[in-house]
Structure formats: C-alpha cells, structure tokens
Amino acid sequence: MIAFIPLFPLDIVLFPGMILPLHIFEEKYKEMIRECLRTKSLFGVLYSHEKTTEKIGCTAKVLKVIKKYDDGEIDLLTQGSQR
C-alpha cells in the first residue's frame, strides 16, 4: 500500500529535529493543516526556490497551534521528523 502525505513547498530546507514556526495563510494550506491537525498526521516540506521544487524534503509534525485567526489563518510551531 502506498501512503500519501500532503506537501508544503517552502523556500527553506527543513531537517529532522529542526523547529520551524509557520504562519499559514493560503487557503489550500489552511485546509491541509486543518486536516493534519484533525488526523494528527504529518505533512511534507519540500525545498522550493525560484521556479523549481526539489524532490527531496522532510516530513513535519505540528507541535503546537500558537494562534488561530478569525479568517482561518494559523500560526504553528512545527518540527522536522524524517527525511
């Protein structure tokens, strides 16, 4: 069985164990994070720069929801899990 995880391209390289604060404001990523919070699942962070997204990344888990805004935006504290 193949497992799929949602992907979040960012202009940053995430390493296992690294703490990454995020402000989620785009609708598709707000939906992705809501689902990850609901199911307590991981998401993938891929390095995206200029017009290229790399094929290697790191899974991330949400450690803490810092703030939820009225418009659905979310501030999170995440941590890299596994390459």
Which H or E element spans position 60?
A: strand 52-68
The answer to whether 22 touches 43, Cβ cutoff 8 Å, is no
d(CA 79, CA 14): 8
pTM for the model stands at 0.89
pLDDT in tens, the chain (83 residues): 667 899 999 999 999 999 999 999 999 999 999 999 999 999 999 999 999 999 889 999 999 999 999 999 999 999 999 99
DSSP state of 37: H
Contacts of 20 (CB under 8 A, 6+ apart): 12, 14, 45, 60, 77, 78, 79, 80
